[in-house]
Structure 1
């Protein structure tokens, strides 16, 4: 009788250790909201998700601030037709979260169709109960 009970308790503890925390879930939701806003080119959503001190690094080495990032997406200069995020990890430390994922996207920048495969590092900051994107850096995913 003791062994099945111990097994059940061990399974419950293991399940809890793999469950996302409340903050991890909130960060995951913020990342998803950012993904959708980038596809839609939704200026207000982008402005609301990005911190005023945003530093947004592209794989080309270009660095944008918040106004430039928002304008570039909202104007269609950088037009994402679709974005798939793979292998995402989220680490929360206090009011800071680090997110890593692989981004595969179809683009239509200035009317020119393309595809990108990038490894992304995001830094989110929690202020006033909301997660805001503080920093982003992309590197090209190596060819397989």
Structure 2
């Protein structure tokens, strides 16, 4: 009887942990999706508190700071028109969340529309009750690229 009670307790704790983790993963996934929309909308007011002041942004043409990324978005020198998210994987490690999105990005760069396949790696860290983005890295990939989960 004690063995059955122990197994049942272990199962309930495991299920509770899974739901809590899923809740955090869903929160991060929604935040990531919101970020793509805010970038498309050039909504600096919503992006500024999300991007950590010391974050780095890695693009095909260079790596820059939060201030530069916000300037690029605000001026439209890169206009992230639409990120079609095809697959997402999320891992939570303590107060850090890592998101991998496989996307087709439609962007306007130097006046021309460009459509590119990327796997984008996003790193977030929880500070108090808010998540802050520490890194955003675009990796150019083939359209057959898959995120291994």
Alignment TM class, shorter chain as reference: 0.7 to 0.9
* Counterpart position of 2:5: none
* Counterpart position of 1:71: 71
TM-score (norm 2): 0.79
* Counterpart position of 1:32: 33
How far 1:35 sits from its partner (Å)? 0.6
Q: Partners in 1 of 2:73 and 2:54 — Cα distance?
A: 17
Q: Pick closer, same or farther for the CA change 1:99–1:143 going to 2, 3 Å.
A: closer
TM-score (norm 1): 0.81
Structure 2: segments with no counterpart, 5+ residues: 1-10, 145-149
* Counterpart position of 1:47: 48
Please state whether the residue corresponding to 2:78 is helix, strand or coil: coil
Residues 103 and 119 in structure 2, CA contact (< 8 A), matched pair in contact too: yes
Q: How many residues align?
A: 131
Runs of 4+ that moved beyond 2 A: 16-22
Please report the RMSD computed on the Cα atoms of aligned residues, expressed in angstroms.
Answer: 2.1
Please state whether the residue corresponding to 1:21 is helix, strand or coil: helix
